[in-house]
A and B are shown apart, each in its own frame.
Chain A
Amino acid sequence: MSPSRETGEPRVSPRSDLIEHIPRLRRYARALTRDAAQADDLVQDTLERALVKLDLWRPGSDLRAWLFTLMHNLFVNQVRAAAPQHAELDEAREIAIGGGEMDALALRDIHAALCLLPAEQREVILLVGLEQFGYAEAARILGVPLGTVMSRLSRGRERLRQLLSDKVAEPAIKLKVVK
């Protein structure tokens, strides 16, 4: 094993630990973005960035939180680059509410509803609800004050609740919505 000895020490080398975090980075990215290819691109960019900046990571601090921070920064740049996305989101909302066939799959429902949230609310409710970061950790990852995390969490969860209950109540209100 001598050739890989230097990477074989888990404490000394965060590199081998990067691998361990890939599955959860993929899960978060998949929930955050629209499709699997885009999600894996985001993970790949994150890993590449991580390797370039690995010297900046402080041993002893939470590698996972650091990786999510890098991913957040990349994601924000993507969202910013695709600025006209808001129009697209509004359209998507109408389609989602008008189209009853989407209800068939709960997975698509929850993902579709997530995609209708503003990106910053989506990030918070996923970091907390899916990735199980604490509120203070989420605030550090996103680089915002704790109060901002709490208000995004509150608004995001309420909006999602509304979107999902719209769907449940859809048969009753469908005609009104479509017209």
Chain B
Amino acid sequence: MKQINEEQLHAYVDGLLDDGQRLDVEAWLAGHPDDAARVRDWQAQNQAFHAAFDPVLNEPMPLELLRASRRQTAPARRLWRVAASVAVLAVTGLAGYGIGLRSAPTELIARMPRDAALAHVVFTPEQRHPVEVDAAHADHLVTWLSKRLGSPLKAPDFSAQGFELLGGRLLSGGGGPVAQFMYQSADQRRVTLYVRREAGSKGRDNTDTSFRHAHENGIEVFYWIDQDMGYALSGGIARAEMQLLADAAYRQIGR
């Protein structure tokens, strides 16, 4: 039997040995119960790490982290500048629009197109993992996201407009969970629908709003509120086409 040192025992536990070395270690462990007990405990440690911390991989990704991963890029900086001015416009626009409208929900609504555009530019270029759950599991996707948002959601059908559902993912932002559905056309263009609960808008006259439009650094965003839920459709495509998609989403969701 080959003499086995501690370093090889660790490498065995960590799966870093080839087949021959592994057999040597196993032969050694069969005759050395103390080493076998250590190895079992070390393996159990690694398993416990995975059991305890792997769920973090599936937690909704906070928008703050997405922002941090984009902040310094020139397009993102432009996006934020534009977003800031859009937010100001939206707030002042609303101020004249509703009397007695408090600022808190207004700010949330104003932030939505910016957050939606950010989530759009972050995930649409992804080649490998644009979505967390793909459209093959559409039922599961919708059930899962509905559960996390605490409200029954619908993934609108854009096939009449030439876009198919790719899938969706869960994010967090605006103080709560956010669902993002992604669609793709035959020529690989992508649009995303960003959905979150608009807390604070409940019971107000302005609970439901008509369409609003924002232009965020080349991204067209149409957004609206329907029964406490905020929706924002984002895409880097022509405004007229986006309008058609947004109309379709609005009709289907409002039903």
Q: Do A and B bind each other?
A: yes
Q: Which residues of chain B come closer than 8 Å to A27, judged between CB atoms?
A: 53-54, 56-57
Known: A129-B14, A130-B53, A161-B45. 13 other contacts (CB 8 A): A1-B188, A2-B236, A7-B121, A7-B125, A18-B69, A19-B123, A27-B54, A30-B53, A44-B68, A47-B65, A129-B46, A157-B41, A157-B42
Whole-angstrom distance between the alpha carbons of A58 and B75 in the complex?
Answer: 22
Taking a contact as CB atoms under 8 Å apart, the answer to whether B49 and A130 are in contact is: yes
Given contacts A47-B65, A110-B48, A150-B7, contact A20 B72 (CB under 8 A): no
Given contacts A27-B57, A130-B53, contact A3 B188 (CB under 8 A): no
Whether, in the assembled complex, B51 has its beta carbon less than 8 Å from a beta carbon of chain A, the answer is yes
Interface residues of B in 10-69 (CB under 8 A from A): 10-11, 14-16, 38, 41-42, 45-46, 48-54, 56-59, 61-62, 64-66, 68-69
Which of A8, A44, A107, A128 makes the CB contact (< 8 A) with B64?
A: A44
| Secondary structure class of chain A's binding surface, majority of residues | helix
Given contacts A20-B128, A40-B62, A129-B46, contact A1 B69 (CB under 8 A): no
Q: How large is the interface on B (under 10, 10 to 19, 20 to 34, 35 or more residues)?
A: 35 or more
Q: How large is the interface on A (under 10, 10 to 19, 20 to 34, 35 or more residues)?
A: 35 or more
Interface residues of B, Cβ cutoff 8 Å to A: 6-7, 10-11, 14-16, 38, 41-42, 45-46, 48-54, 56-59, 61-62, 64-66, 68-73, 75, 121-129, 188-190, 217-219, 236-237
Taking a contact as CB atoms under 8 Å apart, the answer to whether A51 and B49 are in contact is: no
Q: Which residues of chain B come closer than 8 Å to A15, judged between CB atoms?
A: 69-70, 73
Q: Which residues of chain B come closer than 8 Å to A22, judged between CB atoms?
A: 61, 65-66, 69
Interface residues of A in 138-179 (CB under 8 A from B): 150, 153-154, 157-158, 160-161, 164-165
Q: Which residues of chain B come closer than 8 Å to A160, judged between CB atoms?
A: 45
Q: Which residues of chain B come closer than 8 Å to A135, judged between CB atoms?
A: 11, 16
Which of B7, B52, B59, B124 makes the CB contact (< 8 A) with A110?
A: B52
Whether, in the assembled complex, A125 has its beta carbon less than 8 Å from a beta carbon of chain B, the answer is yes
Taking a contact as CB atoms under 8 Å apart, the answer to whether B64 and A16 are in contact is: no
A-B contact pairs, 8 of them (CB 8 A): A3-B75, A15-B70, A20-B126, A30-B53, A48-B71, A111-B52, A157-B42, A164-B45
